[in-house]
Amino acid sequence: MVTILNHPLITHKLTQMRMKETKTKDFRELLDEIAELMTYEICRDIPTKKVDIETPMGPTKQAMIDREIILIPILRAGMGLVNGIHRLIPTAKVGFIGMYRDEETLEPHEYFAKFPKEIDSAINLVLDPMLATGGSAIAAIDNIKKRGAKDIKMVCLVGAPEGVKALQEAHPDVDIYLAALDEKLNEIGYIVPGLGDAGDRIFGTK
Ligand code: PRP
Ligand code: URA
């Protein structure tokens, strides 16, 4: 399932992020705000269970979230989505997977991985603003499935049709959430119109 979060607040902020004159501070803040807004929709189907509580009026059974949630940013750019989601799910644990894309071959290379032990029973939200060829997301999900993860959602800001198709073929069980589905990849593997290099724009490198 692919969900595109067409909401005016998200789209407006994403348009600001796309503008080439938007500087690092604003870019990072806008990404953080979009991540928070996306969380509402991403969590729509998270299971709840009835618990016994007491209000000032007496005992009652009410619903609370029933599953552990783990955020797994794909380093570096995925870090830009963590704080916004954490504001709404402050108890979420965080795992990390480091990936960089070879600029020539576009192949992903893993350089770091560390996950909470509950990865096999949790809802795992894999985070990366950009889904271009899909190589990094597919490799990250391969890794966490090897460690027992079963329930996985992929959360991205901007996707290319090529990356969405590749990810759906490789991991049909993984739901994909996007703020926008863009037109295409260019000849050097960047999303068009996209927003450029997300990691560099978040962290001020380059
Ligand atoms: C970017 C982006 C994704 C990947 C997407 O990361 O954040 O991880 O490229 O491309 P793909 O779908 O073709 O794999 P990059 O490798 O530039 O590393 P960074 O996050 O450290 O900047
Ligand atoms: N990685 C990015 O940061 N941007 C793209 O457009 C493609 C991959």
Taking 90 as the threshold, does the pLDDT of residue 206 lie above it? no
Report the separation in Å between the CA atom of 108 and the middle of ligand 1, taken as the mean of its atom positions: 8
Which residue is listed with tokens 């996950």? 115
- Which amino acid does the sequence have at 92? A
Ligand 2 pocket list (CB less than 6 A): 130, 132, 190-191, 194, 197-199
> Does residue 140 carry a pLDDT above 90?
yes
Confirm whether pTM is higher than 0.85: yes
In angstroms, what CA-CA distances link 79 with 51, 95, 121, 172, 196?
A: 33, 11, 23, 25, 17
14-66: pLDDT as tens digits: 999 999 999 999 999 999 999 999 999 999 999 999 999 999 999 999 999 99
How much is the mean pLDDT over the chain? 97
How far is Cα 28 from Cα 36, in angstroms, rounded to an integer?
A: 13
Report how far residue 185's alpha carbon sits from residue 161's, in angstroms, rounded to the nearest whole number: 8
Ligand number nearest to the C-alpha of 183: 2
> H or E element: which one contains 39?
helix 24-42
Which-ligand-closest: CA of 73? Answer: 1
- Assigned token pair, 3: 């969900």
Q: Is the pLDDT of residue 89 over 90?
A: yes
pLDDT, average across residues 69-93: 98
98 CA from centroid of ligand 1 (Å): 10
